[in-house]
Structures are given as structure tokens and as C-alpha cells.
């Protein structure tokens, strides 16, 4: 049984180096770097003039905002007989939040996002109750003696692919950059994240979620049709627009766990993770079958030259499938998806540079034909000053079901980005 095979996958070998996560430095740190690890603030009371004892703990607050705007020029690749018109939508996205510390050991973050209005940026309404808002990181974290625990809506950085700095012009919200990260197991959601520094440059991590499938991004990698949707995530998400309370379908529940190791040695960074999950599609009944699955993933990034760095990522997900029309029947076949990506950055002057990356997913349900999706990005960034940049990027996508003619689309993005 796949369920039994999941347990050994929780053992992840320690790798040689920890991905040191840089502190947020205004103007010099981009908004897409990993969430900074909260290092102990030595003598924080002395710095703020507060005293120990009964005096309230000193507080450090760092509000921030990111605003992006631009335009996307679209080209469609259609099959014979298909009709659709290309468009060139204007784009807008933003994030606002605050990070902070309380005393020596407590830290927190609260972040919200007004997103593109769909991954292709066709737009969100300006009217009340119709904006495309997202809740991102919302957590409190306690860190001491090399160990930390974060509670709330957390992001497990060990599960996030390395990517080119020069394709982040739209905050990794667009179609061409987002989906490879999701299919490879990128995890953010309501849960608990614990880490421990076993050595100066080596960190181990454990993450646990128990929530609705819409409560974490890791649930989207689960494949297999459940009528009328092509994957289980659709069952929970579809109810959001239909329910009078705008809540997802509460009859679905998911348990999701990750163990990981990340490290850095010299110019090389690496991270590996193993994820296991258990999805119940009908909590109101004990007769339905559960879906068990696992995902193995790894990423490596190397600085080849002071101005050049390269990266590769790979993952393999496999999960059980249910009969699309009857959740009481478990099929003998499984769903698998392999994800591969890699790229290169060249910074010709400080943060100004050019980046290229390619990603591929290969999905297969049982004995059906393999579906292959290709994602390509080529982008450039120029920083006019430390807080404002302009970018241009070409994105290309191709869908191939190895049966009919391929289909897809491409886009040219021209954007401006402000980081405060």
C-alpha cells in the first residue's frame, strides 16, 4: 500500500550546508528572498533604552510595502478549429505587511496581498467585495538556542524552488512562474513550522498542517479526477463562490507533513524535503476512501562567478486515486507528477542583470497518456534607484498531451516595481 510506503520517506539525510536567510535590509533585499530567520537580538533592551525586570519588552517593527504595475502583451497558440482572441491586459499587484521582534526571542510577520486577478492577470474588480485579496504569512515565532517554532500561516522555505531573481517582476504570481513551484510541493499554509540548527550551516525542519485543502498550497499537487473536477482541490475551492459564507467545502480535510534539511557550504546551497499527506474527501462519512500520497523534492544553487549563479530543482509526487464518480472505491492506479526546473542569473552591475529559467512537469494518471507542460522565462531587471526597478520578461508555455496538437501561449511583460 502507498500508505505504508510513505512512513520511511520522512527520514531525510542531513546535507552539508544551511541556506542562511538574509535579514531584511531595506533597498538591498528583494521581496522574494526567503523569510529571514530571526536571529537573537543581543542587548535589545540596551539599544532601545528599556531595562530588564518588570519593564515591558522592547519592540522592533519593520513595516513594508511592494507595489507592481505594468502591461502584458499576449500571444495564443491554438489547435485547429479553436477560436480565441489574444489580449493585452494592464497589470497591478501589491503586498503590505509588517515584520517585527519582541524582546530577544519572539518575532512575528503579518502580510496581505492584492494579487493579479488570476495567474494571467485578466483583472480584478475595483468594487467592494470583489477584489482579489490573499492572506500570506501570518505567524508568531519563538527562537532560542538554535531552535525555533512558528505558529499560524507559515511558509516552509525548504520546499520552495530556487528561481531566477529576474523573473520575479510580478512577485511570482503569474502563470509562467507560479505553477512549477506549486507542482513541486511549495508549501505555505495554516500550521506549525519547527527548525533546529544542528550545525553552523545545517538546519533541519518539520512542518505540520491539519486543515481544509484550500488552507495550504501543498494540496494542489494531489492529482486524480473527482467529478466534476480534474483534481481534488477543486471540490473544496468550488464551494467558495457558491456558499453564502464564502467558505470552502468543509467536508474535506487534509493532514500534511514535511521533514527537511537545508544547508550552505561555500558557493553551494542545497535543500531537500520529504512530504506525506492524507486527504479525506468526505468527513461526514466513514465509508469513503482516503487519498494517501508523498512528494520528494530537492534543490541546489551554486555561485559560479561573482556575477553568475545557477540552480536546479526536481521533485516526484505520487498519490492514490479514487473512482471519479464514487469516493468509496479506491482505484488500483496512482497519479504521478515529475517536476524539473533550472536556470541561470547574470548580474552585470550590482542587482541589474538578466535571468533565464525553464521548468517542465510530467503528469500521468494510471495508464493514461502522459501530459507534459513546459514553462520558459527570460527576464531582465534594471534598478533606477535602490527602491524602484523596471523589468521586461518573455514568458512561454506549452501544453502537450501526446495525442492532439500542442497548445499554449506566450507573453511579454513590461513592469515597474516599488519596494518600501
Question: Which of 175, 181, 186 is CA-nearest to residue 393?
Answer: 175
Question: Which of 200, 294, 340 is CA-nearest to residue 11?
Answer: 294
Q: pLDDT tens track of the chain, all 420 residues?
A: 555 444 444 433 333 333 333 333 333 444 334 334 443 333 333 333 344 444 567 789 999 999 999 999 999 988 777 778 888 899 999 999 999 999 999 999 999 999 888 888 887 767 665 667 888 999 999 999 999 999 999 999 999 999 999 999 999 999 999 999 999 999 999 999 999 999 989 999 999 999 999 999 999 999 988 888 888 888 888 777 666 666 788 889 999 999 999 999 999 999 999 999 999 998 888 888 999 999 999 999 999 999 999 999 999 999 999 999 888 899 999 999 999 999 999 999 999 999 999 999 999 998 888 999 999 999 999 999 999 999 999 999 999 988 777 899 999 999 999 999
Is residue 56 a contact partner of residue 50, using CB atoms and an 8 Å limit? yes
Residue 236: predicted pLDDT:
80
pTM of the model: 0.84
Residue 51: predicted pLDDT:
43
Question: Which of 210, 98, 104 is CA-nearest to residue 148?
Answer: 104
Instruction: Write the class of the CATH domain 2-419.
Output: mainly beta
Is residue 144 a contact partner of residue 383, using CB atoms and an 8 Å limit? no
Residue ranges covered by each domain of the chain? 2-419
User: Residue 358 phi/psi, 5° resolution?
Assistant: -135, 140
Residue 13: predicted pLDDT:
36
**Cα 193 to Cα 55: distance, rounded to the nearest angstrom:** 30
48: helix, strand or coil: helix
CB burial class (10 A; 0-12, 13-18, 19+) of residue 56?
A: exposed
- What is the distance of C-alpha 68 from the center of its chain? 19
Amino acid at each position: 500500500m502507498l500508505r505504508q510506503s510513505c512512513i520511511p520517506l520522512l527520514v531525510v539525510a542531513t546535507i552539508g550546508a544551511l541556506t542562511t536567510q538574509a535579514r531584511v535590509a531595506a533597498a538591498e533585499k528583494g521581496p522574494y528572498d526567503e523569510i529571514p530567520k530571526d536571529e537573537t537580538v543581543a542587548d535589545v533592551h540596551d539599544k532601545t533604552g528599556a531595562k530588564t525586570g518588570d519593564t515591558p519588552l522592547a519592540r522592533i517593527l519593520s513595516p513594508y510595502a511592494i507595489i507592481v504595475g505594468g502591461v502584458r502583451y499576449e500571444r495564443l497558440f491554438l489547435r485547429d478549429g479553436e477560436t480565441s482572441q489574444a489580449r493585452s491586459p494592464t497589470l497591478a499587484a501589491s503586498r503590505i505587511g509588517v515584520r517585527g521582534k519582541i524582546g530577544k526571542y519572539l518575532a512575528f510577520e503579518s502580510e496581505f496581498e492584492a494579487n493579479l486577478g488570476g495567474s494571467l492577470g485578466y483583472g480584478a474588480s475595483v468594487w467592494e467585495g470583489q477584489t482579489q485579496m490573499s492572506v500570506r504569512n501570518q505567524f508568531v515565532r519563538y527562537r532560542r538556542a538554535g531552535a525555533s517554532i512558528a505558529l499560524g500561516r507559515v511558509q516552509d522555505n525548504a520546499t520552495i524552488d530556487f528561481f531566477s531573481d529576474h523573473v520575479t517582476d510580478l512577485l511570482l504570481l503569474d502563470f509562467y512562474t507560479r505553477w512549477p513551484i506549486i507542482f513541486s510541493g511549495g508549501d505555505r499554509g495554516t500550521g506549525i513550522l519547527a527548525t533546529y540548527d544542528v550545525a553552523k550551516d545545517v538546519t533541519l525542519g518539520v512542518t505540520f498542517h491539519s486543515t481544509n485543502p484550500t488552507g495550504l498550497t501543498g494540496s494542489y499537487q494531489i492529482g486524480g479526477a473527482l467529478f466534476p473536477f480534474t483534481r481534488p482541490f477543486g471540490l473544496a475551492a468550488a464551494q467558495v463562490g457558491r456558499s453564502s459564507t464564502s467558505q470552502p467545502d468543509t467536508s474535506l480535510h487534509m493532514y500534511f507533513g514535511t521533514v527537511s534539511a537545508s544547508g550552505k557550504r561555500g558557493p553551494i546551497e542545497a535543500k531537500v524535503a520529504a512530504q506525506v499527506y492524507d486527504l479525506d474527501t468526505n468527513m461526514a462519512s466513514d465509508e469513503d476512501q482516503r487519498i494517501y500520497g508523498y512528494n520528494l523534492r530537492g534543490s541546489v544553487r551554486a555561485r559560479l562567478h561573482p556575477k553568475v549563479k545557477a540552480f536546479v530543482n526536481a521533485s516526484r509526487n505520487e498519490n492514490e486515486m479514487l473512482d471519479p464518480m464514487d469516493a468509496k472505491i479506491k482505484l488500483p492506479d496512482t497519479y504521478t507528477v515529475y517536476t524539473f526546473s533550472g536556470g541561470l542569473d547574470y548580474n552585470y552591475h550590482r542587482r541589474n542583470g538578466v535571468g533565464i529559467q525553464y521548468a517542465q512537469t510530467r503528469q500521468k494518471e494510471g495508464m493514461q497518456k502522459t501530459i507534459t507542460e513546459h514553462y520558459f522565462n527570460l527576464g531582465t531587471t534594471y534598478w533606477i534607484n535602490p527602491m524602484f526597478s523596471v523589468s521586461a520578461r518573455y514568458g512561454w508555455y506549452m501544453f502537450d498531451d501526446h495525442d492532439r496538437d500542442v497548445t499554449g501561449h506566450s507573453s511579454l511583460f513590461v513592469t515597474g516595481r516599488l519596494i518600501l
